[in-house]
Chains A and B, each alone.
Chain A
Amino acid sequence: MTHLLTGQDGIDRGKKGGFCLMLFDVFLPDMNGFDVFAAMKNFQDAESPPVVFLSGTVDEETMQRTRDSGASGFILKPFAPESFLLRLRELVPQIFPGSSKDIESDREKKFLGELRGEYITEWLEMMPEMESAFEGGRYEYVSQMAHNLAGSGGTMELPFITKAGRKLSELIHQRQLEKAASLIRSIHSFFISEANKKSSETTINFVQDKLKDKNEKNSDR
């Protein structure tokens, strides 16, 4: 690995070639990363290795310049080492030989993790509704919710929820209301504790998250 501090050094060294990947900070002391990449391209007769830009800030112009430059992508700083690697694998899988299966399983883990998080958040919000429906005697509705819990909990790797959903359907069907009420409370507590666990984990898709925040802020104005 070669580490250089200025854009000019980058151009001089980059001209000689021999890299499988180049990472450019966008804001260098003497010039910007896009110009370094453009200058380097003029000297290379062989195909350029993949390029990824890094920066502490991101705006639409930076994203556009990244796309226009022909780079493989953009990574927002700061990042944890494992997030950086994961993102790099997404952007330039070709430099990680034989790892397409790992990428697939990383992608799957990430997707399922996010889906599970949304599932917990949404059910946590729906629990008061279920409780008031139950208190109001709308058992058909509670039954439908119990059925949905039974059908989805296991898929979201929450086997307790599937068991509890099945049991709740049964209790409501048999009109064992005291037991049903207590089970609904347990389900609620379970979602609360899962939501607390979840908040200690971090998300990985920071570029998109940050852009999304920014777009939302703009549309608020």
Chain B
Amino acid sequence: MKKILIVDDDKFILSFMKFSLDSAGYDVISLSDGTQVIQTIRQEKPDLLILDVLIPGIDGFKLAERVKADADTTYVKIIISSAIYKKDIYIAAAKKLGVDGYMIKPINKTQLIELVHSILGNT
């Protein structure tokens, strides 16, 4: 079973994504802030990280860069998520960073699962 780590400070979005991806057959773990992300990836070895870049107190892009740069965590696939705010700048930044996907919130279940399937392959 493929494992996904979701990082989002909105607990409703977290519950929604967890429920949707659980029911699509993924093993889902989550964090509500950015402080433990690298450590959690090292311990839990998820296949995919879904990272909200606008979580308070941390720059989501810098965090994604660190995940990519660290030899222990560089393998993990990344979807950046954010609401429409600074959309074009953010999408450009995400592309430059070489992440695997970008999700503009709000999302629905079908969009979420399709994006995750296309990156991880069907389970």
Which A residues contact B (CB, under 8 angstroms)?
104, 108, 111-112, 115, 118-119, 122, 144, 147-148, 150-156, 162, 165-166, 169
Contacts and interface: CB of A to CB of B under 8 A. Distances in A.
A81 B15 CA distance: 29
Contact of B23 (A104, A147, A162, A169): A104
A118 B19 CA distance: 15
**Residue in B12, B19, B54, B107 with the greatest tally of chain A CB atoms within 10 Å:** B12
22 contacts: A108-B19, A108-B23, A111-B19, A112-B19, A115-B15, A118-B12, A144-B54, A144-B56, A147-B54, A147-B85, A148-B9, A148-B10, A150-B84, A151-B83, A152-B12, A152-B105, A153-B106, A154-B107, A155-B13, A156-B12, A156-B16, A169-B85
A166 B52 CA distance: 17
Contacts of B84: 150, 166
Interface string B62-85: 000000000000000000001111
B108 interface: yes
Contacts of B16: 112, 115, 155-156
B40 to A, nearest CB: 22
Given A115-B15, A147-B85, A155 B108 contact: yes
Contacts, number: 59
A141 to B, nearest CB: 10
Secondary structure call for the A interface: helix
Nearest to B109: A108
Interface in B9-27: 9-10, 12-13, 15-16, 19, 23
Contacts of A162: 106
B23 A155 contact: no
A144 B23 CA distance: 30
A151 B23 contact: no
Contact of B106 (A108, A112, A151): A151
